């Protein structure tokens, strides 16, 4: 009984839904503020992401005419529940390194694609040509970045000799040649997973409005935004676990180190975001399947020969 | 205590720019608000591309025979609660196009308008002040 209560608490509050959403919102605000400062603007106040979500939750939800209610309304829930689950799995694997099950890394890898799948389902179910276009772009983007991302993850599996989150977290992969290469590849893929510039092709505000999210209003849109905020916590955590030796929160020094690692990834992401123009979808696919995959394979070979 | 959803609406009004058939000057002034000089993101205002995401409609221009149907449909696509700000004398009163063969009805006879921002075109400061006034109507 207490075990299942603990699990529900872990999933819904800490470190699942609420906690990861909070950290994600702070990260989202930092991102917006830094972007604004770079453009010589003042930028939004600190509570901005929270205000956005609250407002959307209080608004009317319109389901477009002729759309399947079940699919349209369930799509954002899929994404949100998967994102919160990854937060829980990663956090547990980091804190208790012997916990977890064989292959939980693979489970996390699968769960991380579900938010993108939810976008595709929602976009294609909303009966809008621009949403469909956005969904198709998202699909191509997934095909493009998943290949190098998976190779990068398996580079670390070979390097650390473990396929469990606890095992790879105890290994600071980025200090070796193969680990560094895999880190770069995974960072680019994470950028695409977040839908950040230069890979915000699916949402492309200026050309196809908001792509798959175009027809969503009110709570549905709020859930998609929340999923994105949670991913802003989960993806850096995933990268830290794989490449930077995981996090430790039992000591003060450990907490400071964890925050520094998180900040490092955040800075890299915001930097890439603010210094690049958007790619076209064909360029993105060519980029990921060409140079990035070759780099990932090279990293994998280095890992096998022990560099 | 303000209701949290209302607080959110006040702090994060996303605007959709609904050009009914403006001469494009008002539209340019609206875009001016996004520039670093005016920076409306300070107030949490974001320009959205889809009426489904919008809270505040910025209407510019006169509504003519061609655009009236689309105009009404775009208004209906905005989820409630929604606010409307009429930008420019065209949207406020039709002004010099009042006698045009193509003019149908003033904006406020087609949809409810919350705030009028006169000017031809109004200054960006006036537009921002108009949006903030509209938000003041939320109780
Ligand atoms: S109010 Fe003036 S500037 Fe604005 S649309 Fe009308 S004519 Fe153009």
In this predicted model, what pLDDT tens digit does every residue of A273-289 receive, in sequence order? 888 888 888 888 999 99
Q: Is the pLDDT of residue B28 over 70?
A: yes
Q: What is the mean pLDDT of residues B47-56?
A: 88
Q: What does the pLDDT average to over A7-22?
A: 81
Dihedral over Cα of A273, A279, A281, A282: its sign? negative
The reported pTM is 0.88
Looking at the structure of chain B, the number of domains it has is: 1
Mean pLDDT of A90-108: 80
Predicted confidence (pLDDT) at residue A68 exceeds the cutoff of 60? yes
- Average pLDDT (A69-93) is 87
H or E stretch including B86?
strand B83-87
Mean pLDDT of chain A: 85
Is the Cα torsion angle A154, A235, A32, A142 positive or negative in sign? positive
Answer whether residue B6 is part of any domain. Answer: no
Q: Which two tokens stand for residue A33?
A: 């503020």
At residue B1, the pLDDT reads 57
CATH number, domain containing residue B115: 3.40.50.12280
Interchain proximity A58–B5, CB inside 8 Å: yes
Q: Is residue B2 part of a domain?
A: no
Distance separating alpha carbons of residues A269 and A18, to the nearest angstrom: 23
Residue B14, φ and ψ in degrees, nearest 5: -90, 130
- Give the ranges where A39-128 is alpha helix by DSSP (H): 48-57, 69-95, 104-125
Q: Has residue B130 got a pLDDT over 60?
A: yes
Q: Which residues contact B122 (CB under 8 A, 6 or more apart)?
A: B26, B29, B87, B88, B130
Please list, in sequence order, all residues whose beta carbon lies within 8 angstroms of the beta carbon of residue A110, skipping any fewer than 6 positions away: none
Ligand 1 centroid–CA A237 distance in Å is: 51
The pLDDT of residue A276 is: 83
Structural domain span for residue B77: 13-136
In a domain, B3, yes or no: no
> For residue A1, what pLDDT is reported?
63
Residue of chain B with shortest Cα separation from A38: B36
The enclosing H or E element of B46 equals strand B46-47
Please name the residue whose Cα sits nearest to atom 5 of ligand 1: B22
Instruction: Tell me which of A119-133, A192-206, B87-101 is least confident.
Output: A192-206
Cross-chain CB nearest to B80 (options A36, A60, A214): A60
pLDDT at position B11 over 60: yes
Q: For residues B38-61, give the mean pLDDT.
A: 88
Q: What is the pLDDT of residue B85?
A: 92
The ipTM, to two decimals, is 0.85
Q: Which residues line ligand 1 (CB under 6 A)?
A: B 22-23, 25-26, 60-61, 88-90, 120-121
Q: Is the peptide bond between A14 and the residue preceding it cis, with omega within 30 degrees of 0?
A: no
**A294 confidence band (pLDDT: 50, 70, 90):** very high
Q: What angle do CA B4, B10, B15 make, to 5 degrees?
A: 130
Is B7 a domain residue? no
Interchain pair A57, B6: CB under 8 A: no
- pLDDT score recorded for residue A293: 92
Instruction: Tell whether the model's pLDDT for residue B44 goes beyond 60.
Output: yes
Cβ <8 Å between A55 and B81: no
| Mode of pairing for the β-strands spanning B46-47 and B83-87 | unpaired
Q: Which residues of B touch A54 (CB under 8 A)?
A: 4-5, 7-8, 12
């Amino acid at each position: 009984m207490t075990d299942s209560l603990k699990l529900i608490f872990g999933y819904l509050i800490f470190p699942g839904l609420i906690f990861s959403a909070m950290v994600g919102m702070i990260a989202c605000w930092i991102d917006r503020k830094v972007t604004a400062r770079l453009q010589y603007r003042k930028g939004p106040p600190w509570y901005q992401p929270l205000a956005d979500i609250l407002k959307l939750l209080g608004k009317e939800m319109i389901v477009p005419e002729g759309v399947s209610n079940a699919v349209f309304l369930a799509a954002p829930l899929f994404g949100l529940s998967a994102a919160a689950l990854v937060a829980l799995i990663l956090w547990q694997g980091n804190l208790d390194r012997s916990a977890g099950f064989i292959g939980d890394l693979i489970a996390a890898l699968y769960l991380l694609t579900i938010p993108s799948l939810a976008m595709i389902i929602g976009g294609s179910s909303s009966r809008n040509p621009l949403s469909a276009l956005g969904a198709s772009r998202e699909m191509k983007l997934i095909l493009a970045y998943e290949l190098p991302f998976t190779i990068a993850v398996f580079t670390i599996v070979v390097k650390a000799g473990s396929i469990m989150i606890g095992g790879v977290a105890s290994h600071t992969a980025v200090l070796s040649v193969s680990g560094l290469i895999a880190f770069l590849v995974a960072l680019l893929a994470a950028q695409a997973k977040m839908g950040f510039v230069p890979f915000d092709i699916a949402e492309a505000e200026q050309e196809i409005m908001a792509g798959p999210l175009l027809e969503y209003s009110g709570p549905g849109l709020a859930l998609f935004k929340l999923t994105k905020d949670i991913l802003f916590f989960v993806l850096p955590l995933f990268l830290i676990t794989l490449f930077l030796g995981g996090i430790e929160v039992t000591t003060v020094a450990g907490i400071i180190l964890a925050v520094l690692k998180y900040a490092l990834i955040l800075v890299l992401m915001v930097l890439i975001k603010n210094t690049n123009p958007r790619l076209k979808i064909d360029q993105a696919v060519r980029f990921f399947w060409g140079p990035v995959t070759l780099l990932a394979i090279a990293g994998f070979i280095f890992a096998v020969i022990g560099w | 205590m303000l209701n949290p959803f209302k607080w959110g609406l006040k702090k994060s009004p996303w605007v959709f720019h609904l050009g009914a058939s403006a001469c494009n000057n008002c539209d340019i002034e609206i875009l001016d608000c996004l520039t670093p000089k005016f920076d409306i993101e300070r107030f949490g205002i974001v320009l959205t591309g889809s009426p489904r995401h919008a809270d505040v409609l910025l209407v510019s221009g006169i509504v003519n025979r061609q655009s009236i149907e689309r105009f009404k449909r775009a208004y209906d696509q905005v989820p409630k609660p929604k606010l409307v700000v009429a930008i420019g004398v065209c949207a406020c009163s039709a002004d010099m196009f009042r006698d045009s063969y193509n003019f149908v009805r003033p904006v406020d006879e087609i949809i409810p308008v919350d705030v009028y921002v006169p000017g031809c075109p109004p200054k960006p400061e006036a537009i921002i002040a108009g949006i903030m006034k509209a938000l003041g109507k939320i109780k």
